[in-house]
A and B are shown apart, each in its own frame.
Chain A
């Protein structure tokens, strides 16, 4: 217990960040062992493990080479060294990838595996005590081993008068690394080692796969050769690709030309032609269904003994007949109703009485172009009227007199036409 009088404060959140980092590491480690992780995360883990194992193998291989070259280490010694590094890593929480370079440094200096291991342990303790990086401390100790004590004495000034340098250093720092080991680091390190072990299982599979696809005549070579050939017009595949490309272009050009021919305005516009062709298909389907409706209704009427009704349906316009079936009234009544509606609206189809032999008339707006109804019923006439006091009559390979007669007759029957004049267009 003490009383503290604050004079000046400082802001420094590095300690808090460090603490947060430790907890973040824990979270990462728990995530790494796959608690409640999705399949993609599991695959990520496998790939990470394989990568870690690959890096670990590389680092191990480097150290093992050093052990053999400098200390003539046997296979048993190499195996023991691997185990020593792993154990030390677990005890101190320091990554094995960081320990191996230091170990290599000591082996080069001491030419002895056991002595190198002792010095590595000592340097870990010294690093933990001084807070200096392991690399720096291990360099100082390895230099001291060959007689250059300056760096080590700078780290530990009390060793200046020491006669047993490493013995005294052991007394000062012995066991510090294990005592001061951060539990989170140890945990993370353990998880990393587990990952490496998992990676050691996965890595051979990946290696097999890679060697299989990269071997001469393997998948990579075959696919590469295929692309090369496809790009070369002299090869069969290249010719086929070129031909396919030209065919696609030709088909597109032909379709454009075809739709251009279908342009109702004669402008050779492919878009308008395509729209017109769609309309024609739609109308054709409408006509076919109208015909079917009339046929079925006729047979029903014959079956019911209504011969007059059946004859009226058969002799009427298909569109009119189908409409009468849909409305459920007679053909003549349907004709009157439609004509009255057309006159009221100012546009539509004026059906002529078939007994008079006249043709139907379409008035108002754009021509519907409907096949099989109205003046298209006989496929000869195409009459269009507009509501702005102008009438356009288009006559195509039909008898214009018959069309004019139909209009005149309608005018007489209905007390005149809803428009004033006529203009004639085309032939």
Chain B
């Protein structure tokens, strides 16, 4: 979704810090502040109650990683600013918004795949002193159907679709403002 690519982000930040120690922190703070409208929009779009509760699974998962509000709150949305280079990709995200709860992420992507079952039979697992396998159940399919029916999936991107171009432009302006400061100093 992000089309704009900054080519010398690391150099700008390094030069900023040399120009005035602490300026980098100010820039990051400003960028994160600019992303707030998008963050609020995503937070608002995240279901307030556990969307997984259904007739198939009436009891909430309260222990697992995918439990709603378990360990990580479902509406945890944070801005991220990363300048570290990747060993795999030359183009990586500089500024992004991260929805960190696995349960929220799972609900968001539910139904986005083809729906095809990867393995019709599970891997062997321990059972009563031995091992056994079983056919892949339809529980996942039912969960997806439930979330889709409840309109509790695919909510993150639609929430920011409208505000995203403006936020992107604002962040770009902030970077340009600081880049100009560096250039003025260099010239």
Contacts and interface: CB of A to CB of B under 8 A. Distances in A.
Interface in A11-58: 11-16, 18-19
Interface in B82-132: 83-102, 104-106, 108-109
A16 B100 CA distance: 27
A12 B38 contact: no
Interface in B56-106: 80, 83-102, 104-106
A19 B95 CA distance: 24
Contact of A12 (B1, B92, B99): B92
B94 A8 contact: yes
A10 B92 CA distance: 6
B99 A13 contact: no
B90 A3 contact: no
Given A1-B102, A2-B99, A7 B86 contact: no
Contact of B9 (A10, A13, A15, A16): A10
A18 B85 CA distance: 10
Nearest to A18: B87
A16 B104 CA distance: 32
A74 to B, nearest CB: 47
Contacts of A18: 85, 87
Nearest to B7: A11
A2 B100 contact: yes
Contacts of A10: 5-7, 9-10, 83, 91-94
A13 to B, nearest CB: 4
**Chain B residues touching A, majority SS:** mixed
B102 A2 contact: yes
A7 B167 contact: yes
Interface residue range, chain B: 35 or more
B157 interface: yes
Contacts of B38: 5, 7
Contacts of A9: 2, 4-6, 91-94
B96 A5 contact: yes
Given A5-B42, A8-B6, A13 B98 contact: no
A125 B99 CA distance: 35
B105 A11 contact: no
B91 A3 contact: no
B172 interface: yes
A15 B86 CA distance: 5
Nearest to A20: B87
Contacts of B86: 12, 15-16
Interface residue range, chain A: 10 to 19
B27 interface: no
B35 interface: yes
B1 A6 contact: yes
Contacts of B144: none
Contacts of A14: 10, 85
Interface string B20-48: 00000000000000010010001000000
A76 interface: no
Nearest to A22: B87
A7 B174 CA distance: 13
A4 interface: yes
A1 B105 contact: yes
A14 B10 CA distance: 10
Contacts of B15: none
A5 B6 CA distance: 17
Contacts of A6: 1-2, 93, 95-96
A8 B106 contact: no
A9 B167 CA distance: 13
Given A8-B168, A10-B92, A16-B88, A3 B105 contact: yes
Interface of B: 1-2, 4-7, 9-10, 35, 38, 42, 80, 83-102, 104-106, 108-109, 156-157, 160, 164, 167-168, 171-172, 175
Given A6-B2, A9-B92, 15 more contacts: A4-B97, A4-B99, A5-B98, A5-B156, A5-B157, A5-B164, A7-B38, A9-B4, A10-B9, A10-B92, A12-B85, A12-B90, A13-B85, A16-B86, A18-B87
24 contacts: A1-B106, A4-B93, A5-B1, A5-B42, A6-B93, A6-B96, A7-B35, A7-B164, A8-B94, A8-B168, A9-B4, A9-B6, A9-B91, A10-B93, A10-B94, A11-B6, A11-B7, A11-B90, A14-B10, A14-B85, A15-B85, A16-B88, A16-B89, A18-B85
